[in-house]
């Protein structure tokens, strides 16, 4: 297990919106709720977990932007192209901001089948199908 990611922790602007968005998505990807406390929530799959923590009010003056120093995006494996397509439909039905719609599902290149979208804080998320 050396070198595998143990966990990722993200501070968010609105924990309730984040829990609703990520809870649904991570459930679709096979994660299960892991830890919950007043200012945070995590979900786990196998030995890896993702944590979301409410940012303190004093740090909310500058919104997240993926082009600043720091996290650019999170990318998740999909089980198949069908799962990418299914989740894309569900994300759209939920009103999620989809990215690169003019190139979907090949926005990452002709051999890269994926959906790109944003979470409530505009963190870019990628769902990538296995290569065929």
Q: Do the domains at 1-54 and 72-132 have one common CATH topology?
A: yes
Distance in angstroms (rounded) separating the CA atoms of residues 87 and 29: 10
> pLDDT 10s per residue in the chain (132 long)?
789 999 999 999 999 999 999 999 999 999 999 999 999 999 999 999 999 999 999 999 998 999 998 999 999 999 999 999 999 999 999 999 999 999 999 999 989 999 999 999 999 999 999 987
CATH class of residue range 72-132: alpha beta
pTM of the model: 0.92
The secondary structure of 88-108 as a DSSP string is: HHHHHHTT--BS-TTTTT-TT
The CATH code belonging to domain 1-54 is 3.10.180.10
Ranges of each domain in the chain: 1-54, 72-132
């Amino acid at each position: 297990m050396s070198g595998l990611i143990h966990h990722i922790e993200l501070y968010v602007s609105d924990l309730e919106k984040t829990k609703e968005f990520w809870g649904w998505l991570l459930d679709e990807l096979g994660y299960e709720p892991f830890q919950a406390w007043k200012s945070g929530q995590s979900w786990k799959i196998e030995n890896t977990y993702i944590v979301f923590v409410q940012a303190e009010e004093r740090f909310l003056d500058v919104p997240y932007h993926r082009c600043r120093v720091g996290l650019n995006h999170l990318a998740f494996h999909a089980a198949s192209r069908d799962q990418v397509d299914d989740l894309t439909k569900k994300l759209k039905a939920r009103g999620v901001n989809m990215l690169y719609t003019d190139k979907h599902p090949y926005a990452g290149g002709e051999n890269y089948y994926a959906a790109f979208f944003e979470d409530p804080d505009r963190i870019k998320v990628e769902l990538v199908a296995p290569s065929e």
